[in-house]
Structure 1
Amino acid sequence: MGRAFEVRKQAMAKTAAAKTRVYSKYGREVYMAAKNGIDPDANLELKRIIEKAKKEQVPGDIIKRAIEKAKGGSEDNYSEVRYEGFGPGNTLFIVECLTDNVNRTISEVRNCFTKTGSKLGVSGSVVHMFNHQSVFAIKDVTEDEILEVVIENDIEVESIEADEDGVTVYGSVSDYSNIRTALLEAKKDIDFVTDEIMWVPTTEVKLAEQDDIDKFNRLTQMLDELDDVKDVYNNAIIED
């Protein structure tokens, strides 16, 4: 189903420890978004994160506590930081973090790259090889059906890709809400496989050497295990 299904941010292993990290990360994301308004209908960013958290099976009480924490005027504060790096086999990485200690976070992220023979780059060294986009991957629909929704609702999309599994719609970050609303209103039972704002690579790198694959898998696993890391994107395709 297009690029979104070939190259996506790394999924975390569904172990108990990983679930705990996921819950903690979403708790922070919900809290930060809710500081700009606790009503999801008025705060679209909060609504997006809550729906994303529910897809990851984050318990409702964790979401509720994060919103109540923001409502109570907690002084906790987190910064969004992005790191760029070069992974095994000339792969490219974008690592997005939410942290209350930038010095700790950059040290931990750099350690992941160093221990896998990779290198953390400077700001701007990698990001130009990715597009920041709204991405909607939808199962069991045709390209004509999606085009009809786009035309009837006069919404802006950047591209539409289709294959035997379904359709992927790419749009600008600012059009995320408009595209999503139009799709949901046109098809109430729509099945989003991907529904988020993400970094999509403009080029891909195939990893065929086992040593590169092993290092790549270790790097992504180490990054996923860091509490401050929110999302990891790369441009790798692993050969069978």
Structure 2
Amino acid sequence: MGRAFEVRKASMAKTSAAKAKVYSKFGKEIYMEAKNGVPDPEMNLSLKRIIDRARQQQVPADVINRAIDKAKGNDEADYHSVRYEGFGPNGSTFIVECLTDNDNRSVSEVRNAFTKSKGKMGVSGSVIHGYDHVGLIGISETDEEKVLDILFEAEVDLKDLEVEDGSMSIIVEPTDLYKTKDALEAALSIECEVVEITYLPHEEVSLDSDDDKMLFERLTNMLDECEDVQDVYHNVKTSDA
């Protein structure tokens, strides 16, 4: 998918790996979007897009349907987004996004993960300035000129485009993510393999010592286990971690 995709997938990839974590993540997102809007993906575009992303991650239909049914009922759960920033081994930086109904629980769990990994929580804005918030598209295509023509015609705010190993990674403004997806799929008769809003670090750091690598693994594993954590981004070169 090119350097940008590999950076997204490896160096600051979301650390969620277990299926249960992925199911929980999308279950919450689907529930909240269905609860706050119309619980029908054919009438709620935002809900439809979350469901499409969930299906890309192979979230079962019954998990999706349960979340929608829960939103239709009298459930009183009220999740909201919270973002934490922090520092890990060798000056590495982390952005931790949560969806929670209990701020005290989420901040306590995230802080505990940093503390037990010899890292520290930062104040709001201490880390995020070192990242670009972007939309990322990954497709199986190598004709840059053709894609550039499509994006120009669709009036997409293109930030970067790279081709590597028979695939292309396209970085756009977050607000143009789905406009880009729709334009490419319509013009090329393909399905985009990666469609997401993410954070790309301006600079990466390497972990050379075994202690740093151990602390990095401990931190990412502990964040993965936090109930409220949805996504984790970092600037560590994972191949060196």
User: Normalization by structure 1: what TM-score?
Assistant: 0.90
Distance change (3 Å), C-alpha of 1:87 and 1:152 = same
Aligned to 1:29: 29
Aligned-partner SS, 2:21: helix
Secondary structure of the corresponding residue to residue 160 of structure 1: strand
C-alpha displacement at 1:208, in angstroms? 2.2
Structure 2: segments with no counterpart, 5+ residues = none
2-structure distance, mates of 1:238, 1:9: 9
CA distance in 2, matches of 1:11, 1:141: 29
Residue aligning to 1:114 = 115
| 1:226 paired to 2:226 | yes
Q: Provide the C-alpha distance between the structure 2 equivalents of 1:188 and 1:47, rounded to a whole number of angstroms.
A: 20
| Counterpart Cα distance in 2 of 1:238 and 1:64 | 35
Q: 1:217 to 1:141 in 2, by over 3 A?
A: same
Task: Say if 1:135 and 1:196, in contact at 8 Å, map to a contact too.
Answer: yes
Does the CA-based 8 Å contact 1:4-1:200 persist in structure 2? no
- 2: CA distance, partners of 1:19 / 1:57: 9
Question: 2: distance between equivalents of 1:176 and 1:130?
Answer: 18
42 and 173 in structure 1: CA distance in 2 versus 1, 3 angstrom threshold = farther
Q: Once the two structures are superposed, what CA deviation does each residue of 1:162-198 show, in whole Å capped at 9, x if it has no partner?
A: 2234211111111122111111111222341x21011
Does the 8 Å CA contact 2:181/2:192 hold for their aligned counterparts? Answer: no
Q: Which residue of 1 aligns with 2:103?
A: 102
Distance across 1 between alignment mates of 2:239 and 2:195: 26
Aligned to 1:19: 19
For the pair 1:56 / 2:60, whether they are aligned, the reply is no
Distance 1:148 1:169, change over 3 A: same
- Tell me if the contact between 2:205 and 2:235 (Cα under 8 Å) persists in the aligned partners: yes
The size of the alignment, in residue pairs, is 235
Contact map agreement 1:10 1:220 (CA 8 A) in 2 = no
Partner of 2:214: 214
Q: Which moved more, 1:59-68 or 1:72-81?
A: 72-81
The root-mean-square deviation of aligned C-alpha atoms, in Å, is 1.8
Secondary structure of residue in 2 paired with 1:10: coil
- Structure 1: any 5+ residue segments left out of the alignment? none
Superposed displacement of residue 225, structure 1? 1.3
Conservation of the 8 A alpha-carbon contact between 1:208 and 1:238:
no
Aligned AA for 2:114? F
Amino acid at match of 1:126: V
Instruction: Give, as a single letter, the amino acid of the residue that structure 2 aligns with 1:231.
Output: D
Q: Show the 5 A alignment for 1:74-93.
A: 74-93=75-94
- 1:153 Cα shift? 2.6
Distance in 1, Cα, partners of 2:216 & 2:58 = 27
Which segment drifts farther, 106-115 or 160-169?
Answer: 160-169
Which digits, 9 at most, give the CA deviation of each residue in 1:87-118, with x for residues without a partner? Answer: 11111100000111110110000010011111
174 and 119 in structure 1: CA distance in 2 versus 1, 3 angstrom threshold? same
Query: How far off its partner does 1:50 sit?
Result: 1.0
Q: Which amino acid aligns with 2:40?
A: D
* 1:45 matched to 2:46: yes
Partner-residue secondary structure (3-state), 2:158: coil
Q: Which residue of 2 aligns with 1:166?
A: 167
Alignment partners' CA distance in 1, 2:205 and 2:60: 37
Identity of aligned residues (%): 45
Q: Which amino acid aligns with 2:14?
A: Q
Moved more, 224-233 or 69-78: 69-78
Q: Residue 191 of structure 2 corresponds to which residue in structure 1?
A: 190
Q: Relative to structure 2, which stretch is displaced further, 140-149 or 46-55?
A: 140-149
Distance 1:93 1:45 in 2: 27
> Aligned to 2:125, what secondary structure does the other structure show?
coil
Q: Contact 1:2 / 1:161 at 8 angstroms: preserved in 2?
A: yes
